Chain A
């Protein structure tokens, strides 16, 4: 997956666009929805609290009205007498009852029960029990408690029975119970008291202080919902049974203990939430789409030139340097321009490279020519060797040792020269040098000495074959004066921390003109023919080891003579090669 991104800048760009467009959008939507819901909830809560305040206010009025009626009835001396069955005019008792219950009469059936629970006087003719049990219910509560007590209906759906009863005990002068003032509130009473006071779309449920149903305009709702709401209250969580999309608020009327519960449809229902969610999802989708389109458009603007460049580069890798890319004014155009410059530069350097290669080929050819010249010098060597051997034996037979020696030496030199090895050990080279000097000694009547200053550890260094001989020859021919005894020294040293081998050939001759000192310069014209030896060695060194190598000519400091120096990379030869050399030469 990471690969999927890493391999395409376009995808990364798309992702970035999505992130940039979606995150702020989401944040904004989230905050807006939060604020919106909170505000709406708050407004609803305040509204609900207002309704509930009205309802509890009415319940409080009812409670105070009943309390007042109870007090007034208790204050009247005629009431206990009437309840005890004394002879009083029922009209006057009714008058007292009516005037005492004036405030609450329209909301309750105001009745007087005697101490045995028998109905004596009433403000209504609606159905209410002529006898109330003393041992339970409202009368028991009233007889055991001071003040106004309440008892709720057993069955809230039974609207023919009073839903709520409130009672106050009426005392005789001596403190005994004379009877009870009982207010019985029916479904219709509650309805006329509360209708229209809690919002048309809301439901109101009155419950007792034990959260048992008392009243609801739809009694069935109260019967079904109250146990669930009660569970919600006791557990503190929203039970399964509560319908979605409805919110509840409750308030208690403190004097009677009755709770009013308001059920209101949530303005911010799950449907609204879903709608908002759909809008948010749509916004999210649009954001993604915009991000996609933008990334495609910008991407193609960015990637078409890049793609062209990429293709051009592809062609460059296929060795087509004539590619030119369309340029433009923006950064990518500049890039294209630079690319064009680059291909041009590449073309130039390729031309240079080819020239270089040509030079290399030429060099090789020159080297070959030098080698051919060397070979030419070795023309018909076997014939020469055999002849020399014959000469050796003839010399020995005729007692001419010099001839025999010279023939032997010359044969050795020739054999060495025609051997196929291009490189030989320093030791082998110096052995051939000895042979050569032997011949020269005979030729020049012994006035020649060869000193070898070669450390033992350098004897196995590899050098180009027949490298020293031409230098020594040059020293004998040009360095030494004809008649005088000459001395030639061959010295080997390491240089450059052991990586280079420095070979010097020193003579005790007359030296060279000052202008010839320094690195060897091949002579031109007629002189070249005479100095072929040095020229060949120099060429071999240069072609084998590079232009930095070659011969150097110097006058010996503080004395007579010339030094010819060759510096070459130090390479050690194999023992075996050395052994072969020895056998061959010995």
Chain B
């Protein structure tokens, strides 16, 4: 016992000594200056890449004087986090994420219509005001320009041609939100009941892990064609990849990503100002040039789109795509999709 006590004493002495050095780290890093007051701050959860959110946030801060803290993460991860944080939400605003995802979590958000709501293209406008669109993201077909002749791929149905069998880059719709949207879009655009079955068959069992892989697969020639977002494709092309875009003749969808105010936020005013800011004309008109994204405002300057090689919205044939319906049917669609694919695998 006494030995133990003696050892404890020695140990305490040791800790004493080792403890002496650590004191500086315990203090605040900046005791001289203080963080801005709570009411002048805003926490924004975003699934956008920093290159997208940073100019928006910086400009917002300077123009409004509101200090913005950004939480980065994947859409589902952030929605989860907000959901779990309950009455004291982890963020005041959710910035980014497909509106289908936001719609699926409608309970987390406070309906709000921005001041410039009337300027927003009705095709992108939210039915219930749960979210405010930020940029429109059409689904497009892409093909490798070195391996595929021009005009060989101009429609959804072209994908069923024999030359593309087993050479289509398509991400697993169970994992990729844009891939799910693409699946829903082609069904709506082609309008044939068995098209999805035939498309699944045409994939020949090949599914990619993530939407990012689609670009890589097509540009390195391991796939001839692929289905992805216009923004992603244009960005890749700007980097010099051998890829060309095709807008399907049957039409496509342009489901926007959105911004939503988290229900239960204590900084509603600041959150509203942020939402307003995301659809500010200046911010919107910089989207094509900088991010190859389509503005969601009605009267967008054609020159802005041209500068980024974006077809004007009038030439873009959009099918009727019901976001709420897609969100509601997500589980059902994914189940029958995996059933189809499963049958493929079983037959092999």
Q: Which residue numbers of A lie inside 8 Å of B, CB to CB?
A: 1-2, 4-5, 15, 18-19, 22-23, 26, 29-30, 33-34, 37, 41, 49, 133, 135-137, 140-141, 144, 151-152, 154, 208, 210, 212, 229, 232-234, 236-238, 242, 247-252, 259, 266, 268, 270, 272-274, 276-277, 280-281, 284, 288
Near A by CB (< 8 A), chain B positions 1-25 give: 1-4, 6, 9-10, 13-14, 16-18, 20-25
Report Cα–Cα, A37/B26, bound state, in Å.
14
Given contacts A140-B63, A141-B63, A154-B54, contact A1 B18 (CB under 8 A): no
- B59–chain A nearest beta-carbon distance, Å: 6
Check if B193 is an interface residue, CB within 8 A of chain A: no
Q: Are A276 and B54 in contact, CB atoms less than 8 angstroms apart?
A: no
Check if B32 is an interface residue, CB within 8 A of chain A: yes
Q: Are A1 and B59 in contact, CB atoms less than 8 angstroms apart?
A: no
Given contacts A5-B3, A15-B2, A284-B13, contact A233 B35 (CB under 8 A): yes
Q: Which single member of A136, A233, A252 contacts B282 (CB below 8 Å)?
A: A136
Q: Are B17 and A281 in contact, CB atoms less than 8 angstroms apart?
A: yes
Minimum-distance CB pairs A-B, first 7: A273-B21, A33-B20, A135-B282, A232-B29, A2-B1, A26-B13, A280-B17
Q: Which single member of B4, B33, B59 contacts A259 (CB below 8 Å)?
A: B33
Q: Are A210 and B61 in contact, CB atoms less than 8 angstroms apart?
A: yes
Selected A-B contacts with CB under 8 Å, 26 pairs: A18-B10, A22-B10, A30-B17, A33-B21, A34-B20, A34-B23, A41-B24, A136-B282, A137-B59, A140-B63, A210-B62, A229-B30, A232-B28, A232-B30, A233-B29, A233-B34, A236-B35, A247-B24, A248-B29, A248-B30, A249-B30, A250-B32, A251-B32, A266-B24, A274-B21, A277-B17
The proximity string for B residues 46-57 relative to A, scoring 1 for CB distances below 8 Å and 0 otherwise, is: 000000001100
Q: Which single member of A49, A238, A277 contacts B21 (CB below 8 Å)?
A: A277
Residue of A nearest to B20 (CB): A33
Q: Are B16 and A30 in contact, CB atoms less than 8 angstroms apart?
A: yes
In the bound complex, residues from chain A placing their C-beta under 8 Å from that of B164 are: none
Report Cα–Cα, A34/B20, bound state, in Å.
6
Residue of A nearest to B41 (CB): A234
Check if B281 is an interface residue, CB within 8 A of chain A: yes
- How many of chain B's residues have a CB under 8 angstroms from any CB in A? 39
Q: Are A19 and B33 in contact, CB atoms less than 8 angstroms apart?
A: no
Report Cα–Cα, A238/B35, bound state, in Å.
14
| Chain A interface, >50% SS class | helix
Q: Which single member of B13, B30, B68, B283 contacts A210 (CB below 8 Å)?
A: B68
> Could you say which of B14, B34, B54, B58 has the most chain A C-beta atoms within 10 Å of its C-beta?
B58
In the bound complex, residues from chain A placing their C-beta under 8 Å from that of B41 are: 234
Report Cα–Cα, A210/B67, bound state, in Å.
6
Given contacts A210-B67, A232-B29, A237-B28, contact A26 B18 (CB under 8 A): no
Q: Are B24 and A281 in contact, CB atoms less than 8 angstroms apart?
A: no
- B212–chain A nearest beta-carbon distance, Å: 24
- B301–chain A nearest beta-carbon distance, Å: 12
Check if B69 is an interface residue, CB within 8 A of chain A: yes
| Chain B interface, >50% SS class | helix
Given contact pairs A49-B32, A232-B30, A249-B32, a sample of 14 additional A-B residue pairs in the complex whose CB atoms are under 8 Å apart: A1-B1, A1-B4, A19-B6, A22-B13, A26-B13, A26-B17, A29-B16, A210-B62, A229-B30, A236-B35, A249-B30, A250-B33, A251-B33, A281-B17
Q: Are A212 and B3 in contact, CB atoms less than 8 angstroms apart?
A: no
Q: Are A268 and B24 in contact, CB atoms less than 8 angstroms apart?
A: yes
In the bound complex, residues from chain B placing their C-beta under 8 Å from that of A151 are: 62
Residue of B nearest to A212 (CB): B58
Near A by CB (< 8 A), chain B positions 261-304 give: 281-283
In the bound complex, residues from chain B placing their C-beta under 8 Å from that of A259 are: 33
Q: Which single member of A1, A4, A26, A135 contacts B281 (CB below 8 Å)?
A: A135
Given contacts A233-B35, A249-B32, A281-B14, contact A212 B20 (CB under 8 A): no
Report Cα–Cα, A23/B24, bound state, in Å.
25
In the bound complex, residues from chain B placing their C-beta under 8 Å from that of A274 are: 21
Report Cα–Cα, A6/B145, bound state, in Å.
91
- A472–chain B nearest beta-carbon distance, Å: 77
Q: Are B17 and A33 in contact, CB atoms less than 8 angstroms apart?
A: yes
- B33–chain A nearest beta-carbon distance, Å: 5
Report Cα–Cα, A135/B277, bound state, in Å.
12
> Could you say which of B13, B18, B63, B283 has the most chain A C-beta atoms within 10 Å of its C-beta?
B13
- A142–chain B nearest beta-carbon distance, Å: 11
Q: Which single member of A2, A37, A135, A238 contacts B20 (CB below 8 Å)?
A: A37
Report Cα–Cα, A324/B41, bound state, in Å.
93
Residue of B nearest to A252 (CB): B33
- B119–chain A nearest beta-carbon distance, Å: 14
In the bound complex, residues from chain A placing their C-beta under 8 Å from that of B14 are: 281, 284
Report Cα–Cα, A209/B45, bound state, in Å.
21
Q: Which single member of A2, A133, A141, A242 contacts B62 (CB below 8 Å)?
A: A141
In the bound complex, residues from chain A placing their C-beta under 8 Å from that of B61 are: 210, 212
In the bound complex, residues from chain B placing their C-beta under 8 Å from that of A19 are: 6, 9
Q: Which single member of A232, A234, A251, A277 contacts B69 (CB below 8 Å)?
A: A234
- A111–chain B nearest beta-carbon distance, Å: 19
In the bound complex, residues from chain B placing their C-beta under 8 Å from that of A249 are: 30, 32
In the bound complex, residues from chain B placing their C-beta under 8 Å from that of A141 are: 62-63
- B300–chain A nearest beta-carbon distance, Å: 14
Q: Are B3 and A1 in contact, CB atoms less than 8 angstroms apart?
A: yes
Residue of A nearest to B22 (CB): A273
In the bound complex, residues from chain A placing their C-beta under 8 Å from that of B33 are: 233, 250-252, 259
Near A by CB (< 8 A), chain B positions 97-139 give: none
- A139–chain B nearest beta-carbon distance, Å: 11
> Could you say which of A33, A208, A259 has the most chain B C-beta atoms within 10 Å of its C-beta?
A33
Residue of A nearest to B29 (CB): A232
In the bound complex, residues from chain B placing their C-beta under 8 Å from that of A140 are: 63
In the bound complex, residues from chain B placing their C-beta under 8 Å from that of A273 are: 20-22
Report Cα–Cα, A280/B21, bound state, in Å.
12
Near A by CB (< 8 A), chain B positions 198-231 give: none
Residue of B nearest to A228 (CB): B29
- B68–chain A nearest beta-carbon distance, Å: 7
Given contacts A1-B4, A212-B61, contact A233 B17 (CB under 8 A): no
In the bound complex, residues from chain B placing their C-beta under 8 Å from that of A41 are: 24
In the bound complex, residues from chain A placing their C-beta under 8 Å from that of B28 are: 232, 236-238
In the bound complex, residues from chain A placing their C-beta under 8 Å from that of B10 are: 18, 22, 284, 288
Q: Are B21 and A276 in contact, CB atoms less than 8 angstroms apart?
A: yes
- B135–chain A nearest beta-carbon distance, Å: 17
Q: Are A238 and B55 in contact, CB atoms less than 8 angstroms apart?
A: no
In the bound complex, residues from chain A placing their C-beta under 8 Å from that of B29 are: 229, 232-233, 237-238, 242, 248
Report Cα–Cα, A457/B67, bound state, in Å.
116
Q: Are B68 and A277 in contact, CB atoms less than 8 angstroms apart?
A: no
Report Cα–Cα, A272/B35, bound state, in Å.
32
- A247–chain B nearest beta-carbon distance, Å: 7
- A575–chain B nearest beta-carbon distance, Å: 63
Report Cα–Cα, A26/B12, bound state, in Å.
10
Report Cα–Cα, A152/B41, bound state, in Å.
19
- B51–chain A nearest beta-carbon distance, Å: 10
Q: Which single member of B3, B6, B20, B22 contacts A30 (CB below 8 Å)?
A: B20
Given contacts A234-B69, A284-B10, contact A37 B21 (CB under 8 A): yes
Given contacts A140-B63, A210-B62, A280-B17, contact A37 B23 (CB under 8 A): yes
Report Cα–Cα, A33/B14, bound state, in Å.
13
> Could you say which of B4, B34, B59, B283 has the most chain A C-beta atoms within 10 Å of its C-beta?
B59
Report Cα–Cα, A144/B55, bound state, in Å.
20
- A272–chain B nearest beta-carbon distance, Å: 8
Residue of B nearest to A136 (CB): B282
- A166–chain B nearest beta-carbon distance, Å: 12
Report Cα–Cα, A233/B282, bound state, in Å.
31
In the bound complex, residues from chain B placing their C-beta under 8 Å from that of A272 are: 21
Report Cα–Cα, A27/B28, bound state, in Å.
27
Residue of B nearest to A5 (CB): B2
In the bound complex, residues from chain A placing their C-beta under 8 Å from that of B62 are: 137, 141, 151-152, 208, 210
Report Cα–Cα, A192/B23, bound state, in Å.
37
In the bound complex, residues from chain B placing their C-beta under 8 Å from that of A280 are: 17
- A91–chain B nearest beta-carbon distance, Å: 35
